[in-house]
Amino acid sequence: MLNASTSSARGFVWLIGAGPGAPDLVTLRGLRFLQAAEVVVYDELVNRELLAHCPPGCEQHAVGKRAGCHSATQPEINALLVTLGAAGKKVVRLKGGDPLIFGRAGEEIAALRAAGIPFEIVPGVTAATASGAAAGLPLTHRDYSSAVVFVTGHQCAANTSALDWGALAKLRATLCFYMGVRRLPEIAQNLLGHGMTADMPIAVISEATLPAQKILTGTLRDAEKLSAGLAGQPALVVIGEVVRLSSFAAELPRLHAQAVK
């Protein structure tokens, strides 16, 4: 990491995690840099209320990304950050969740380093912890789960996945699949095929921390219906025994019934 004071001519880029949805989950550090930005480059999943904290005259670039819909490619975003930094701008790259967890920050960091543009990473609340909190379930528990695994759903296609499904199925862990709703039937198929029990509980949390938040629960055998219930929506899938500890546990039969209608 480099300090802003090391370069005045080359500009500076802050890669900031905006958190999972609710605008007040951004960190105070991230908010401070946002309020001083000359340019903001923001993703689709960033809460637009955060943009109200930009100073007057702040230039804004939407580079939204949702499944199957990208307004800018990653190389185009990398080039934009380099161009703005080289022009001497104070740039905030605002990302949903945490920049370092499936946020493709690594590619942006590499581009900035190659161009000699100083930068700083400001972490944010990632979707897994936010979704666990929203559903009232701990991601770890000394009796049920001694590890947490973050997996991107994009790597879960049944015929092309390079994941070690045998290890995932046998690991005493909570599995958190980002962008995994569409692939949930294949995820379940792979886990079941490698020995995970069909009654392993699942929670699917969409729009975590927002008023439109929705929580569906079931088991691996319900994967296809759970997937259909939230088709096209950004959501996080939690698979593991900890789902039984959710603060919604008393409501699980009703929530399950809704999920499998």
Catalytic residue list: 43, 65
Question: Residue 158: helix, strand or coil by DSSP?
Answer: coil
Orientation of helix 74-86 relative to helix 105-115, angle to 10°: 40
Cβ contact 3:118 at 8 Å: yes
3-state secondary structure of 192: helix
Residues 241, 242, 248, 249, CA torsion sign: positive
Three-class secondary structure of residue 150 per DSSP: strand
Residue 144 in tokens: 């049920």
Residue type, 258: Q
Amino acid at 133: A
Burial class (CB in 10 A: 0-12, 13-18, 19+), 84: buried
